[in-house]
Amino acid sequence: MPAARDQPAADGEELSERYADIGGRRIAFLDSGGPGPVLLALHGHFGRGRIYVPLARALAGRYRVIAPDQRAHGRSDRAEDFSPEAYADDAVALLDVLGIRTAAVLGHSMGGAVAFVLAARAPARVGALLVADMTVLNQEPEAHPVLDCSSWPRRAASREALGAAIEAHGIPDAGYFLQSAARFEDGWGLLFETGDMMASQRAFAGDLSAHWRASDQPALLLRAEHSFMLSARTAQRMAAERPHTELVTFPGCGHWLYEDDPDGFARAVGGFLDRTLG
């Protein structure tokens, strides 16, 4: 991929961006630092670790937030394997590189699935589990597991033109995707390959219930009232069938609940961590 330069974060992002070598691949991550317990925060498809900057600020002095760009996303290297298990193994490897024995793990959307796969796959590494608006029934009719991005533009003349071109493909608001926008030598583009995103989405499609039920750490399931990913019925089922699981619904919020109600999101996450890790 040609060299790219990020658009500076509008909110004055100040978390340090670092890089780790995992099996010969570069993983980029933001690290809020500090001596507090660690919260490993995993973004969803098309996202980046920087979506958790407001949460890291809200938890500053209490928790150390580490937010990677997961494989094939953001500034991290591409990979061939997009299975949930491969993503989870990356998370364990990052904790190993950083010398972190145990962390609370938060994931949004696809990142939520990675989080509960990680909790089942490496239970000793996950002290608490937080899943934000991710279903275990990632299949029709519960969810639409694959957003077809195959014909999205590779380059545009400006960041605004790139957003408009994405929205022209039926996306009501390209804001979330533009967090992965960067300036390349030949124009503005996205820091992911659309083919990788298609393959990764397909790898997560299906019934993930067995992974969800395979761990018993204290868990917080956060659901957006207007979610297109997690129905109220499935959220209630998830909370009922897994021990030590709390369900919180965010009224008036859509899938990106951490943006729709950042203060409420930080209070829910911080409060749960205080009760669980304190």
pLDDT number for residue 16:
81
pLDDT along the chain (278 residues), means of 10: 46 74 96 94 98 97 97 96 98 97 98 98 98 98 95 96 96 95 97 97 98 98 97 98 98 98 98 94
Domain ranges of the chain: 4-143+195-277
Q: What is the pTM of this model?
A: 0.94
So what's the pLDDT on residue 8?
42
Residue 278 pLDDT: 75
- Spatial contact of 102 and 125, defined as CB atoms under 8 Å apart: yes
pLDDT tens, residue by residue, 100-128: 999 999 999 999 999 999 999 999 999 99
Distance, in Å, from the CA atom of 48 to the CA atom of 180, rounded to the nearest integer, reads 7
Q: Tokens 């790139």, residue?
A: 162
Partnered with residue 131 across adjacent β-strands are: 107, 221
**Helical pair 84-97 and 110-121, crossing angle rounded to 10 deg:** 70
pLDDT of residue 200: 98
Topology at the third CATH level for domain 4-143+195-277: Rossmann fold (3.40.50)
Q: What is the pLDDT of residue 88?
A: 98
